[in-house]
Chains A and B, each alone.
Chain A
């Protein structure tokens, strides 16, 4: 088991609603990345936070936003939910720099109906 924990584990929302997912990073890790994993696909990068600043973003619309807190925990917020947002959302923590392992949480399964 990694030290990365995500909450909640499962969530059902209605189209148009907003959702907040949470992630506690592994001790000593200052970088948090969020990924979306659709059924049958590999994880797709959403964005990354380092020391409370977003420092990388994938091909996701602005309604996907995030925060990182001083203790390096993080939130992923998604506004105006769409059916295609249904996926497993993964958080990974790591240290900065080259050749650093990224450790994943167990994910939050979001279903939009």
Chain B
């Protein structure tokens, strides 16, 4: 398959450990945020979202934290598995019909 991101920041994690991927967003007016996972040769896959009136949201093995004061998002993955290896993007959305704006992405590499 193709490589999605050749020069992205990389996080290497041992299988079974927890992963934390960080994202700084740019627009203080953004009020909805999504984390996407993108595997090589595939389109971005929705993982979890959060609205600006929340500071934490949990899904299955994933948690998103939002700190509006410093415009920072994080994605926590519990008990990381080899199948979690991918590039992860945060995307911000400023409301209405404005488009999603994507961050630069982080490559997660899980060491078995």
Interface residues of A (CB under 8 A from B): 2, 4, 6, 31, 33, 35, 37, 39-45, 48, 50, 55-56, 58, 88, 90, 92, 96, 98-99, 101-107, 109
CA distance in complex: A55, B3 (Å): 32
Q: How many residues of B contact A (CB 8 A)?
A: 32
Chain A CB within 10 Å, residue with most, of B4, B31, B91, B99: B99
Contacting residues, chain B, for A2 (C-beta < 8 A)? 43, 45-46
Secondary structure type dominating chain B contacts = loop
B100 touches A104 (CB 8 A): no
B6 touches A39 (CB 8 A): yes
Confirm or deny: B7 has a beta carbon within 8 angstroms of a beta carbon on chain A: yes
CA distance in complex: A107, B4 (Å): 12
Least Cβ–Cβ distance between A59 and chain B, in angstroms: 11
